[in-house]
Amino acid sequence: MTPPQFRPTLRLADRTLDLARPALMGVVNANPDSFSDPGHRPIEAILDQVRAMVAEGATVIDVGGQSGITNVPEVDPSEEIDRVGPIVSAIASELPGVVISVDTYKPMVAAAVLAAGAHIINDVSGLRAPELAPLVAEHRAALVVMHTAAPPKTRLQESDLYGNVVDEVRRFLAAKVTEATGAGVHPDSILVDPGPDFTKTPAQTVEVLRHLDELNPDGLPALLAISRKDFIGALTRTRPKERLAGTLAAVAAVGSGTGVVLRVHDVGEVRNFLTVLDVLRSADPVAPDLRLADELRWAAGRPDGTVET
């Protein structure tokens, strides 16, 4: 399967994000009920996490203040702002080279984080709030348009929900992109997201990911949140933190082309995977003096007992 190729740049207010190869989006959760992160932490601890992800290869950081868990109520917008606003401000101040995305669908939250320095609004609601796109346009920021067939925090996975899931996702995304551009969002500042697992069974998610080109005929950049997803767990019978191998397989199949932002939990592992994949796919010569550093040869010191320093 050849990975899809989309437009290799994303326009932001103060820069252009190069997507000639996949950009890695690290995930920072500022909520206490996250699947992956420990929740509330001091700002400096969160900045340390961001610095570590940037060192591992992340160029985009996605900050979220509300979990997608469906059995807990929505967070009040003011509380969500209290959670994510200081993080956005700190990243913008301490790490100005990092592109900041905020996972929210609430206009009040979006307005606050855009004013604090966010570059992307990652809206998992499918533009349910009509005020959201004009806010993004006002700040010349980027917008993620994601497919979903239900309100946020609603679990809906039915085998007969769609007549043709690929066609319905394509038409939904096209309509929402038109809505966003009509509200003033620049066409070069839109990412489309097929919404893996969102109101889709594992089989439906697989079908959607197999047809990304058809879902995005205009070739807009794509956000692919395929890390540790349910469809991987269903195929491999693994829990979220056991899904790295399946995640890497999904990255190779659908997320290793141009014009892609990969939202991932294991930034360093995905970066290393893509590094080797790029070299083996390329016909460019490898530097003849490429060598493995001696300190990387052994798992724990040399066989003769000498410890590396």
Question: Which pLDDT value is given to residue 40?
Answer: 64
> Among this protein's residues, is 229 annotated catalytic?
yes
Residues 85-91 have a mean pLDDT of 97
Res 57 pLDDT > 90: yes
Question: Which pLDDT value is given to residue 216?
Answer: 97
Question: Which pLDDT value is given to residue 298?
Answer: 81
Contact 69, 93 (CB under 8 A): no
> Among this protein's residues, is 176 annotated catalytic?
no
Query: Residue 224 — φ and ψ, nearest 5°?
Result: -115, 105
Q: pLDDT per residue over 21-40, tens digit each? A: 999 999 999 877 545 555 56
Question: Which pLDDT value is given to residue 155?
Answer: 83
Domains and CATH numbers, the chain: 9-296 (3.20.20.20)
Contact 177, 145 (CB under 8 A): yes
Question: Which pLDDT value is given to residue 51?
Answer: 98
Identify the band that residue 284 occupies on the pLDDT scale cut at 50, 70 and 90.
very high
Identify the band that residue 41 occupies on the pLDDT scale cut at 50, 70 and 90.
confident
Res 309 pLDDT > 80: no
**Active-site option among 41, 263, 291, 302:** 263
**Active-site option among 171, 229, 237, 302:** 229
Q: pLDDT per residue over 103-113, tens digit each? A: 999 999 999 99
Identify the band that residue 46 occupies on the pLDDT scale cut at 50, 70 and 90.
very high
Q: pLDDT per residue over 144-177, tens digit each? A: 999 999 998 788 899 999 999 999 999 999 999 9
